[in-house]
Structure 1
Amino acid sequence: MLERLPTEILCEIVHDFSRRDFIECVQVNRYWRQRLPPYSSHLWKHVDIKTHDHLIFLAQTSCFGQYIDSCKITMLSKDALLYHALEQLQGYHLQSLVLDYFRIEDNERLIDLLKNVRCESLKFTGVTGACLDFVGIITASSGGVGGDGHMRHFACHYDLMYPMLMFDDDDDDMCLYPPPAPPLPNTNGLGLVSLALTTQNLQVDWMGLLQRCSTTLQHLHIDVTDPIICRDIMNACPQLQSMFIGEFAVPEIVTWPPPPPSSSDKPGLRHLGYYGQCHDIDIMEFVLEHQHTLETLYFDTCIPIQIPPWSDINAFQSTSLKTLVSSHTHETLPDTLVHLIRQSSNLETVVLHQVNSASDKIWDTLMNLDTLQNLSLHVHIWEYDPNRAWEWHTLIHRLGTMTTLRQLELVALDGAKSIECAQLFRMLDGIQLVKLRLLSIHVLSDRTLEALLPHAPLMEQVDIVDCPIVTTCGIKALIDGLPKVRNVTFLLSKEQRIPDDVDELTSYAKGKGVKLVVDSLD
């Protein structure tokens, strides 16, 4: 009977089918197996594999595999789930493959399996156990020595974006100091467009690796143990648009890798980050060389301005810089930031990490920046500071005067009390915020969030991340109390369990026209 149904009728019948429904249907007969799979293509865009049940599920989907665009494999135990999952994916062509929180015990087996999983983007996060053969994996996934594969993007970060090994119960398997990588084959053609490799103590012939991507590499994020010269990297890979050197996490407010340039964009380096005790004494000269194309500058301000490399900062002047990220802001001489901000006439985003009693110079400059739209603050004010109350009052007042802000990200707020968070929200009346992101604020409660509701009538998106005493009641209050909100993200800390009522709340949000994402950081 199915074969006689018109396409439009069949579409109506299977409209609400789940993956399981389609799997059961295609087992009925050969005709159903041939005709039904295309109607399920939207269900297979992304596949998560976390348990053996999911693996069996994937094994039953041979006729649906062609529709899988991306796959994430998460392994929290010491079994062979990773290898079995990769065996099921043999021959598939994926846009993205993410291997998350797993234990590497056999580099050679992993490399052999990855050779036959064709993916454009390969990412590793949260790796434990034996050390990865990064060069071998990249070479295999890029099609071997000839470089005729499909991989264009490779990333490996221990513990998400932070370059540290996840400690395991069995210390014998820890590899804190990876052995040197084997010599690179004397050939070019890896074809990588982006490379992110921020693993601690990794010994790699970086220049040899980069030279194999010299004609294609556009985005780079590496952590190095030995000094490396930015100008040498740029000479090896002249197509680079993004260069981040050092062990740091790119802030959420900064998109990395950034979107591809449009035809109207000028060629040249657009995004630069250099973190840590600066081994490249010519870094400021390098910044000045690219100041007319740079759109993002991320730098560690532990380095005093009076000595190289920042002593030439007075020559900096840019109309292209849109994002400025400063780490260790509490150790910065104010003139460093003030000059960079004042000399960037189109600056839209400022990220200040570890701010305490920042100088009046910095705040006065920010408050007078007419182009400022996005601000991220990692605030730390000592709890026992005798001036603590005055400093919080001043901070709240200053934020309330920044009427051009559209996005605000607040991290930690160390030393704040819940009443001070509520006072901060009340000062947002004069700011037309459309996005608010709150991270790791331990005093943030449901009641504190309610103080936000009357003061954010234009808010379209709210992200609550790792705020342990916020509950689904507070999230529901945001959905009900913010008339313009369309996206809410609620990410719980690793110690918290997903609430029992999350499905009910998600359905409630959908009925209100709000996309709600609830997940754990684990």
Structure 2
Amino acid sequence: MTVDPLQLVERLSCDIVERIFAYLSQNECLECMAVSRAWYKLIPQYATFVWRQVDISGDQQDERFKECLGPHVQHCQISGANDSQVSAILGMLVQRGCKNLQTLAFIRCRLPDQFMQTLTPLTSRLRKLTFTEHSDNISILHILALCPNITHFTLSSFDSNADIYNHDPLLYQQQLPDNHLFDQLLHLRLDVVMDKHKRLTPILKRCPNLKYLAVCNIAPDSDAYQLPSKATIDLDLFLQYCPELTFLECNSWEQQSDDMIEDDFNKSGSTGLQQLITRESTDYTAADILPTVMKHQHTLSRLHLGGALGAGNSSRSDWTNLAFIQAPRLCTLSLKYITIPSTVLECLIRQCPALEDVTLWTTELMGSPPETALRQLPNLKRLDLGRFSNCMNRIDFLQSLQGLESLALRYWGRDMTDDELDAISTIKGLRELLLVQSGSKLTQQGLCRFAKNVISLRKLELHNMPCMLSGSVLAAWGDMQCLNTLKLVCCKGLTRQGIRDMMNRTTSLRQFDIAYCNLMDTSDV
């Protein structure tokens, strides 16, 4: 029996019909619209919940798709569109009355000359505006001025170190009134290198309530001809214009997830600078960084510091003043590629008793980790250690870390032994383990015993392991009850049959990644 959809709608209340249509995907909505003229009209009317968020590619101009757009659309992402396509898409959104947009993102898009005029009708309620993998210089000031309610703005570029970002585009060099503030703006990410006086200052001085600032964060590139320096980075200047900052990230190659930072931001009710992430570059050194750390030591909860890398840079800064930092709220500490004596590390860690997450990749070749201070951290959950010397009892040290949930050991000065692996297995709450270039003295028996004893391990990652990973080792991993992620990079001894046996035995493994491993034919696995 065929049921007239119009009769069905007439018999049910609007909210019931909307709840039914809410189970459809967008593709299913479009397929239903092709069935009959009645469904063509019904779907856009009652499936508005399905169309609150839309992703539009450059060549997407389907008539049924257009019919489903309207004032209900709140989030829009446009990707891979050239300038004429961007103009057409924005015109379509305006034509369909999408004036309640809250977020708008452009990914790998080229913008038309009339972009500002085309964008204007969509900005009255816009709160988040994003340009990622962008290739055009844009007038950030004038775009922000179009959006009275904007709280989040992001710009990242293919050519992040190009000098085109030091000036506004010629079409938009007319200055805004000095009293025009972006007082709603809380989150600003500008991952391009731009002059702090010519470009950054005119923006930041209009953002008195900014909480989150990320600037000049670019991928490491040995061929980059322009890296962040004192001409682009000035922590004091940033904090002077934006005194409400709680998060500051600049010249970082490990950009923090905006979603993670947003979650931290929403949870925290504290004031003052709480998260600082930066590394040296060119003439931007520890002497420029440490005064800011010292000034905000009592409010910091996350501190990431790094030495200069790439383009012939190397860290020669004096970081010894870290020994005077007393940060009672610091939970996360990361020091990478900097030269710092172990005695300074000991002092620093002792004066940060709330530490839960510690990463130490220092370049003091004869140094040893601050094992005494690390042992005494009552809340330590995650530890990531780089290269250190052999002047420590590693078994005693590993056995003392009973509260750890995540452990990473990289490039240890002496190859790991079965006894040291046994010591790791005594950490009963360990959930994640990463070993990098350690283990030529490990035996098959030691690896199998470890798999049996480390009962809570959920993620195991091995890189450049010189020991052989035989079928018996893979079988032992297959028998692990909690292991759900296994990643092997540049490992030896793997066979197709061993992997098949492991996969047949496991009841917990959900993700298995292999890369650059010998004796492996990935097409047959």
**Partner of 1:198 in structure 2?**
191
**Partner of 1:481 in structure 2?**
506
Q: Deviations over 1:46-100 (max 9, x none)?
A: 4333452xx124872444444444333332x867444433333334433433322
**Partner Cα separation in structure 2 for residue 355 and residue 395 of structure 1:** 27
**Partner of 2:394 in structure 1?**
none
Displacement of 1:127: 2.5
**Partner of 1:6 in structure 2?**
12
Displacement of 1:299: 0.7
SS at match of 1:233: helix
Displacement of 1:349: 1.6
Give the TM-score of the pair, scaled to structure 2. Answer: 0.67
**Partner of 1:116 in structure 2?**
121
1:328 aligns with 2:337: yes
Does structure 2 retain, via aligned residues, the 8 Å contact 1:253–1:376?
Answer: no
Q: Deviations over 1:225-270 (max 9, x none)?
A: 416442332232121110112142235699334533447x331111
Does structure 1 retain, via aligned residues, the 8 Å contact 2:488–2:515?
Answer: yes
Does structure 2 retain, via aligned residues, the 8 Å contact 1:70–1:95?
Answer: yes
SS at match of 1:314: helix
Q: How does 1:298-377 map to 2 (within 5 A)?
A: 298-301=304-307, 307=318, 310-328=319-337, 331-352=339-360, 359-362=367-370, 365-366=373-374, 369-376=377-384
Does structure 2 retain, via aligned residues, the 8 Å contact 1:373–1:404?
Answer: no
Larger Rg: 2
**Partner Cα separation in structure 2 for residue 262 and residue 404 of structure 1:** 30
**Partner Cα separation in structure 2 for residue 394 and residue 253 of structure 1:** 41
Displacement of 1:152: 1.2
**Partner Cα separation in structure 1 for residue 296 and residue 289 of structure 2:** 11
Does structure 2 retain, via aligned residues, the 8 Å contact 1:184–1:209?
Answer: no
**Partner Cα separation in structure 1 for residue 448 and residue 122 of structure 2:** 49
User: Match of 1:274, as an amino acid?
Assistant: T
**Partner of 1:255 in structure 2?**
260
Displacement of 1:478: 7.8
Q: Paired residue for 2:180, among 164, 179, 188?
A: 188
Aligned-residue Cα RMSD (Å) equals: 5.2
Q: Deviations over 1:165-212 (max 9, x none)?
A: 6xxxxxxxxx56545234752233223211111213556432331110
Q: Paired residue for 1:56, among 56, 61, 65?
A: 61
Instruction: Assess, with a 3 A threshold, how the Cα gap between structure 1 residues 449 and 394 changes in structure 2: closer, same or farther.
Output: closer
Gapped regions of structure 1 (runs ≥ 5): 166-174, 382-386, 494-498, 501-522
Gapped regions of structure 2 (runs ≥ 5): 1-6, 217-227, 309-313, 390-410, 517-521
Instruction: Assess, with a 3 A threshold, how the Cα gap between structure 1 residues 371 and 431 changes in structure 2: closer, same or farther.
Output: farther
Does structure 1 retain, via aligned residues, the 8 Å contact 2:303–2:330?
Answer: yes
1:18 aligns with 2:25: yes
**Partner of 2:213 in structure 1?**
220
User: Match of 1:268, as an amino acid?
Assistant: G
**Partner Cα separation in structure 2 for residue 124 and residue 437 of structure 1:** 36
SS at match of 1:47: strand
Instruction: Assess, with a 3 A threshold, how the Cα gap between structure 1 residues 465 and 114 changes in structure 2: closer, same or farther.
Output: farther
Displacement of 1:111: 3.2
1:230 aligns with 2:235: yes
Q: How does 1:500-515 map to 2 (within 5 A)?
A: none
Instruction: Assess, with a 3 A threshold, how the Cα gap between structure 1 residues 253 and 95 changes in structure 2: closer, same or farther.
Output: closer
- Range 119-128 or range 21-30, more displaced: 21-30
**Partner Cα separation in structure 2 for residue 122 and residue 489 of structure 1:** 36
Q: Deviations over 1:341-384 (max 9, x none)?
A: 33221111223458897843245654554422234568899xxx
Q: Paired residue for 2:427, among 403, 411, 418?
A: 403
**Partner Cα separation in structure 1 for residue 499 and residue 175 of structure 2:** 54
User: Match of 1:403, as an amino acid?
Assistant: I
Displacement of 1:482: 5.4
Instruction: Assess, with a 3 A threshold, how the Cα gap between structure 1 residues 451 and 138 changes in structure 2: closer, same or farther.
Output: farther
- Percent identity (aligned): 18
**Partner Cα separation in structure 1 for residue 489 and residue 45 of structure 2:** 40
Instruction: Assess, with a 3 A threshold, how the Cα gap between structure 1 residues 82 and 241 changes in structure 2: closer, same or farther.
Output: same
**Partner of 1:84 in structure 2?**
88
Instruction: Assess, with a 3 A threshold, how the Cα gap between structure 1 residues 294 and 388 changes in structure 2: closer, same or farther.
Output: closer
User: Match of 1:372, as an amino acid?
Assistant: L
Does structure 1 retain, via aligned residues, the 8 Å contact 2:244–2:272?
Answer: yes
Does structure 1 retain, via aligned residues, the 8 Å contact 2:152–2:187?
Answer: yes
Displacement of 1:326: 1.8
**Partner Cα separation in structure 2 for residue 451 and residue 465 of structure 1:** 15
**Partner Cα separation in structure 1 for residue 61 and residue 501 of structure 2:** 36
Q: Paired residue for 2:292, among 286, 291, 316?
A: 286
1:207 aligns with 2:201: yes
Does structure 2 retain, via aligned residues, the 8 Å contact 1:115–1:143?
Answer: no
Does structure 2 retain, via aligned residues, the 8 Å contact 1:70–1:94?
Answer: yes
Q: Deviations over 1:410-455 (max 9, x none)?
A: 59x46889x9999889747666767648699899999888764544
**Partner Cα separation in structure 2 for residue 430 and residue 489 of structure 1:** 21
**Partner of 2:77 in structure 1?**
72
Displacement of 1:313: 2.3
**Partner of 1:171 in structure 2?**
none
User: Match of 1:293, as an amino acid?
Assistant: T
Displacement of 1:15: 6.5
Does structure 2 retain, via aligned residues, the 8 Å contact 1:188–1:211?
Answer: no
**Partner Cα separation in structure 2 for residue 422 and residue 100 of structure 1:** 51
**Partner of 1:139 in structure 2?**
142
Does structure 2 retain, via aligned residues, the 8 Å contact 1:403–1:432?
Answer: no
Displacement of 1:333: 3.3
User: Match of 2:330, as an amino acid?
Assistant: L
Q: Deviations over 1:257-288 (max 9, x none)?
A: 4533447x331111112211435735323222
Instruction: Assess, with a 3 A threshold, how the Cα gap between structure 1 residues 21 and 217 changes in structure 2: closer, same or farther.
Output: same
**Partner Cα separation in structure 2 for residue 280 and residue 254 of structure 1:** 29
Instruction: Assess, with a 3 A threshold, how the Cα gap between structure 1 residues 82 and 93 changes in structure 2: closer, same or farther.
Output: same
